[in-house]
Amino acid sequence: MADKAAAKPSPPDRPAPKPVPAKSTQSDEKRNFEPKYNWMDKTRQWGVRVKPGKAGLKLGDLNVGIYGETPTQWTDQSRNPRGAVPRRGMPPVGYAIRDKAGLWADCAADLYEEAIQRRWAPATDVPWDTIEPLPDDIEHALCQVCTELVSYANVDIETITGWQHQMSYGYHEVKQFLATASFDAARHYECFRKRALANGGGLGLEGPGMVNRMILESRGGWTEAVVYLLVLRGAFTLTLYRYLGRYAHNDAERFIFAHALADKARHVTYALDHLKYAVAHADDQLQVVRTLIAIGEGGLTRDLRDPVLREALAVIFGGGVAKAAHRGMAVYGEMMRDYVATYLGYCEWLGMPRDPARLPPPLNEFANPPDAGA
């Protein structure tokens, strides 16, 4: 472009004026910005074209080529997405869980998508208008059980969120699944609170908290937390939901327990898949998990000895206080036998079968049918 100043040069005997640096402005940035494009072509794998399948474009579908490679250790301490070109020299964010064996489950990506597809909103999806006044003793019992279930959900929330940020980006599927799990727990928290406050009752008495403490004190790693939170407590909660759904008083309760059950089943599925992976890929982990399970059973038994939850369940199962001791407790016993059978089945599947006789009392008594010893 022709320069007017150049067309009219300064007289030769006068020195050229000293150039004054212009004030830097954003619009100068626009004029002066010379692109470098030095980021272009920096990729570890190009030409990837993942197509949506019958169920859409799922997280697991993306695991093609290098993008699906999940190393046994993830040393990168940044948020470098798996498969991206890392940027060197960045100060670490500080992730504690960098071994695949410490969190992995092959099913995490599928469970993540399933959780999203099966989302529900307690405010609008639960048919609250189907709740009708219940006899006072039953309402008391249900409110007591809901209080315990709110506490269980609270421990889910506090435990999962306490570990989530410590997990490396290289295993993003697990982080993402756990985001759904803590969100599920948030929904359970509000939903059971809503049920307790919706029908002329209120919240009951807080639980004894032994298992809560045991879960929250899992300092040995996420795997330990999984054993306590999702296997010991998880299997128990799952069984509770099943029985409470069976003895629901109205469609609202049926809906709540059925949906909470489906959510919890995903959490337990992750747990079992993770433990299977962990014991297969980490030295000594099988024995560690065995030990944790034995310790956990002791804590669980101590909580179960507390009469509050048991009696509240018996009132619900018996249809009132009058039949709680007989019919209600019989169903409670059946529920506990179901729980113990489920739990022992999990242990068996994980390759660490438990001898029912060695379960702490009185848990061991539920390992056999009531008339087995007769």
Partner 1 sequence: MAVIVAVWREEKHDEMSEAANGTEPQLDLGWMDRTGPWDTRAEPGKYGLTIADISIGEYGEAPEVSDNLTGRPRGAAARPASYRIGAYAVRSKNEIWLDNASFLYEEALQRQWSSATDVPWHTIEPLPDDVEQAECQLATFLTEVEFVAGDVPARWVSLTTPDFYEPRQVLLAQVMDESRHMDVFRKRALANGGGLMQATGATAGFVGSIDLSRDFTEMSSRLHISGEGAVLTLFRMGELMAQNEAEKVIYRLCAQDEARHVAFGVMHLRYMSETAPERREEIHCYLDEAEGGLIGAANPVGQLTPTSESMAIILGGGKEHFDDGMNKIIAIRRRQLQEYRKRVVSAGFGERFENGRSRVAQLIEEAAA
Range 247-276, binding partner 1 (CB under 8 A): none
27 contacts partner 1 (rule: CB under 8 A):
yes
Closer Cβ to partner 1, 203 or 262, answer by number:
203
Q: Give residues 144-163 in contact with partner 1 (rule: CB under 8 A).
A: 144, 147, 150-151, 154-155, 157-162
Torsion region of 257: left, alpha or beta (phi above 0 gives left; psi -120 to 50 gives alpha): alpha
Binding segment for partner 1 (CB under 8 A), chosen from 136-144, 239-247, 267-275, 283-291, is: 136-144
Q: Which of the 8 DSSP states describes residue 228? A: I
Binding segment for partner 1 (CB under 8 A), chosen from 259-267, 273-281, 285-293, 328-336, is: 328-336
> Nearest distance from residue 14's CB to partner 1, in Å?
32
> Nearest distance from residue 268's CB to partner 1, in Å?
20
Q: How far apart, in Å, do the first and last CA atoms of the chain sit?
A: 106
Are 234 and 266 a contacting pair, CB within 8 Å? no
Contact string (CB under 8 A) for partner 1, positions 190-229, x = contact:
x--xx-xxxxxxxxxxxxxxx-xx--xx------------
Q: Which of the 8 DSSP states describes residue 72? A: S
90 contacts partner 1 (rule: CB under 8 A):
yes
Q: Which amino acid is located at 285 in the chain?
A: Q
Peptide bond into 135 cis (omega under 30): no
311 contacts partner 1 (rule: CB under 8 A):
yes
86 contacts partner 1 (rule: CB under 8 A):
yes
Q: Which of 70, 183, 262, 341 binds partner 1 (CB under 8 A)?
A: 183
352 contacts partner 1 (rule: CB under 8 A):
no
129 contacts partner 1 (rule: CB under 8 A):
yes
> Nearest distance from residue 153's CB to partner 1, in Å?
9
Closer Cβ to partner 1, 127 or 245, answer by number:
127
> Nearest distance from residue 10's CB to partner 1, in Å?
29
Closer Cβ to partner 1, 44 or 246, answer by number:
44
> Nearest distance from residue 54's CB to partner 1, in Å?
10
Closer Cβ to partner 1, 10 or 43, answer by number:
43
82, two tokens: 């798996």
161, two tokens: 């969120």
Among residues 96, 44, 93, 98, the alpha carbon closest in space to that of 75 is found at 98
Q: How far is CA 298 from CA 46, 210, 309, 364, in A?
A: 54, 10, 17, 11
- CA 247-248-250 angle, to 5 degrees, is 145
Q: Can you name the residues that pair with 73 across neighbouring β-strands?
A: 99
Q: Which of 79, 96, 349, 351 binds partner 1 (CB under 8 A)?
A: 79
Q: Kindly report the length of the chain.
A: 374
Q: Which of 72, 96, 119, 130 binds partner 1 (CB under 8 A)?
A: 119
Q: Report how many residues bind partner 1 under the rule CB under 8 A.
A: 137
Are 133 and 249 a contacting pair, CB within 8 Å? no
365 contacts partner 1 (rule: CB under 8 A):
yes
Peptide bond into 370 cis (omega under 30): no
How many CB atoms are located within 10 Å of the residue 60 CB?
A: 16
297 contacts partner 1 (rule: CB under 8 A):
no
Among residues 92, 94, 95, 74, the alpha carbon closest in space to that of 84 is found at 74
Contact string (CB under 8 A) for partner 1, positions 32-71, x = contact:
-x-xxxxxxxxxxxxxxxxxx--xxxxx--x-x--x----
How many CB atoms are located within 10 Å of the residue 130 CB?
A: 13
> Nearest distance from residue 91's CB to partner 1, in Å?
4
Q: Which of 134, 182, 235, 293 binds partner 1 (CB under 8 A)?
A: 182
Are 365 and 305 a contacting pair, CB within 8 Å? no
287, two tokens: 């024995």
